Amino acid sequence: MHKDVRVAVPTHWGDGFGSDIAAQHIARAQEVFGAQILAVLAAPEYPTDVPILVIESRNLVALMLQLKSTYTFLADITATDEGETGQWGRFEVVYQLFAPREKSRLRVKTAAHEGAMVPSLAHIWSGANWAEREVYDMFGVRFCGHPDMRRILMDYRWVGHPLRKDYPLKGYQLFPDAAPINPDLLQMEEQVLGHDSDELWDNADLLVNIGPTHPTTHGALRMCARLRGETIETSYCEFGYTHRAKEKLGENRTYHNFIVYTDRLNYCSSLINNVAYVMTVEKLMGIGVPDRCVWIRMIVSEIARIIDHLICVGINAVDLGAFSYFLYGYHQREEAYTLIEKLCGARLTTSYTRVGGLMADAPEGFEREVKEWVRRTRVVIDEMHALLTNNKIWRQRTEGVGVFTREQCMDYSVSGPCARAAGIDIDLRRDQPYLFYKNVEFDVPVCGSGDVFDRYLVRIAEIRESLNIITQCADRMKSGPIWTEDKRVRIPDKDSVHNTMEGMIHHFKFFMEGFQVPPGEAYSQVEAANGELGFYIVSRGGPRAHRMRIRGPSFWNFQTLAAMVRGQKVADMVAALGSINVIAGELDR
Amino acid sequence: MSKDGNAGFLTTRLNDFINWGKKNSMWPLPFGTSCCGIELMSTLAADYDMARFGAEVVRFSPRQSDLLIVAGIINLKMAPILRTVYDQMSDPKYVMSFGACASSGGIFNVYSVLQGIDTLIPVDIYVPGCPPAPEGVLHGLLELQDMIERGTTHAQKQRVCHA
């Protein structure tokens, strides 16, 4: 056992910003809506991280319009199945709101009985479209006024709603064939400008299916498009081909068991997922971790961010024909794997963090090796930059392609490098600093035009910033304990397990039953490689979560694709899709 | 062929020769769906370089490839598509089940996941791991080459039966 008890202040969750703004808005909402506000839940009476407004569903739209003036960013929409015990109805639909300027977060809930409708927010935030479809798919809650109320992850013939508590975990349903292209969804509302003015094409519409096994989709996505010539007139995306029921598993596995499933969300940067998940559970339990643990978590997060960006820009270049560029980046990724292997023994699916600590301490000389890797990576990034950035073909293929403006990004809740490429200056590492990000110096690269080229530039600039952060962390990391002293979550030392009865019982109960998490709910947001990664955990006590929601940035970013490529060529779709870096594991979960 | 029409000796040699050719020029179709796809990319990239074993011509069209590498999870929505892709490949075709999800469903024994692709298509070689390390993939590839040389893959055995 470590004698050095030096528990970090529990601010490494990135909380406590803008709570006065939230209070003001709640007071105003209470004034305006009076008895329509069913409840205001806030700490300390109700164990939650941010205040919650519960409103009757018929006033939801009015409330949201009022809140939107400040809470411009719709972070997430999800639901929980409360069963018979629900205070206001069987289902509670949960909206996570974020005010980027005031750095304030607020949660709004509304309730729905079985079969009742909830008003859709798709006309307030276009990004709500898919999220509401997912709620319908998983819970069967319908949204009135929604433009396209179809299933999203499951097959269109699926019976039942998997995330309902009464749906069995192993309720398989197999269908003999794949979903065909749905021409109804490709009806044109208006003529798209800029198509080839060749008479040959003028009345020749072509329905094209791209994916789910197509070299450009990198994962199992599918896109159906109506073309005129080579111009995409309208298109829709189909996915769910790698749906692995991680949210359902989150309710059926203990908190400790669930760590392995977080690896497989965004598998290009699984370390960030590990960190984000355990941080949420720590927040729920009020556990702080020692300094060394926080520094190591920061280093691994930044390494993960770099290798994710390397794979994104590399693949984007491969799709446009620059293969050698990809190999440069991939070699550096392999070197990073070597570092990660030294930490946890695995290359890709790391499961490195534990609730309250880490799987293992960094090996001796790790700081030196990391700095050496940073030095080499800087050289490689410079080489890659020289190879591609001013390449004429690359610029012609990417500049002005796949443009998504600042306003569109906010409308679709785009976050991360894609939003920053469009000029939205949000980086949660700086704006809601978690871990020790407030103690390191780094810039947030922002571009303006929001095209594929700017996304590339932002990613390359972010790699350089992450390298700086890693160096600072490695300099400031000191030896010390990596585990919290909290007995509830601390995995007992092997010494005590093998030599004492209490230790063995503790070990047995820890792994067979899991640790108990007090009732409450928490949403923690982390700046992952592609944007805001959020875990929303609702606990009703016990070793398993009542609801485990994962807000993956890919889901929200991918939604922009159809709007982004409208009126562009099919080949530009390839460039645009590569640049938003959709990771299927995080998209489908 | 000898004068009395007995072709046995020559045919055996020719088979060996063809198998030698087959095993050293596999054209893989990377059916990468999730995490395993990234490790498959590692195997194809410069550091591990699958091209050293003749399997470098990655083809995304099933009609041009003979080795189907199913890298990653196949869920129930994807299953019919995998079957279609397999049916579109021309004989002789080989299937490598890459990683735990493809082989058995792995840690995902849930409503949406196919519990092993061998319930759907014949698999010649399983590469274990979640995901397998590139060394494991290369080992699997070499094993598959041995199988082709011996003529013990599903496609080759089936052909003998038909003949």
**pLDDT at position A214 over 80:** no
How far is residue A570's CA from residue B3's CA, in Å, rounded to a whole number? Answer: 61
Topology of the domain comprising A254-484: Cytochrome-c3 Hydrogenase; chain B (1.10.645)
Q: Domain boundaries in chain A? A: 11-144, 182-244+559-589, 254-484
Across chain A, what does the average pLDDT equal? 86
Residues in B touching A217 (Cβ below 8 Å): none
> Which residue from A177, A244, A327 is facing B108, i.e. has the nearest CB?
A244
Element housing A555 (H / E): helix A553-558
Residues in A touching B57 (Cβ below 8 Å): none
What's the gap in Å between the CA of B162 and the closest CA on chain A?
28
Which residue from A minimizes the CA distance to B61?
A214
DSSP A357-412: EESSPPPTTHHHHHHHHHHHHHHHHHHHHHHHTT-HHHHHHHTTSS---HHHHHHT
Q: Which of residues 110-149 of A touch B (CB under 8 A)?
A: none
> Which residue from A177, A215, A311 is facing B60, i.e. has the nearest CB?
A215
> Which residue from A169, A214, A311 is facing B110, i.e. has the nearest CB?
A169
Identify whether the C-beta of residue A54 lies closer than 8 Å to the C-beta of residue A42. Answer: no
**pLDDT at position B159 over 70:** no
Q: What is the pLDDT of residues A107-135, one digit of tens each?
A: 999 988 888 889 999 889 988 999 999 99
Q: What is the pLDDT of residues A127-186, one digit of tens each?
A: 899 999 999 999 989 898 888 888 888 888 888 899 998 888 888 888 877 777 777 777
User: What tokens were used for A6?
Assistant: 């030096």
CA–CA distances in Å: residue A243 to residues A424, A516, A524, A545, B78: 31, 28, 23, 20, 10
Q: What is the pLDDT of residues A327-359, one digit of tens each?
A: 888 888 899 999 999 888 888 888 899 998 898
Residues in A touching B34 (Cβ below 8 Å): 219-220, 242, 244, 264, 267, 584-585
Element housing B15 (H / E): helix B8-23
Residues in A touching B46 (Cβ below 8 Å): 327, 330-331
CATH class in words for A182-244+559-589: alpha beta
Identify whether the C-beta of residue A515 lies closer than 8 Å to the C-beta of residue A499. Answer: no
pLDDT band at A493 (very low <50, low <70, confident <90, very high): confident
pLDDT band at A70 (very low <50, low <70, confident <90, very high): confident
User: What tokens were used for A195?
Assistant: 């198509």
Beta-strand (E) ranges in A157-315? 205-210, 222-228, 231-238
Q: Which of residues 185-224 of A touch B (CB under 8 A)?
A: 212-215, 218-220
DSSP label at residue B123: -
Q: Which of residues 303-332 of A touch B (CB under 8 A)?
A: 311, 326-327, 330-331
**pLDDT at position A203 over 70:** no
> Which residue from B73, B80, B130 is facing A244, i.e. has the nearest CB?
B73
Q: What is the pLDDT of residues A520-553, one digit of tens each?
A: 888 988 999 899 999 999 998 889 999 999 998 9
How far is residue A404's CA from residue A565's CA, in Å, rounded to a whole number? Answer: 10
Q: What is the pLDDT of residues B84-142, one digit of tens each?
A: 889 888 888 899 999 898 999 888 989 989 888 988 899 999 999 888 989 999 999 99
CB contact under 8 A, B60 and A168: no
Q: What is the pLDDT of residue A5?
A: 34
What's the gap in Å between the CA of B64 and the closest CA on chain A?
14
CATH class in words for A11-144: alpha beta
User: What tokens were used for A131?
Assistant: 């999220």
Q: Count of A–B CB contacts within 8 Å?
A: 123
Better-predicted residue by pLDDT, A10 or A567 = A567
CB contact under 8 A, A219 and B42: no
CB contact under 8 A, A178 and B33: no
pLDDT band at A308 (very low <50, low <70, confident <90, very high): very high
DSSP label at residue A181: P
Element housing B17 (H / E): helix B8-23
pLDDT band at A194 (very low <50, low <70, confident <90, very high): low
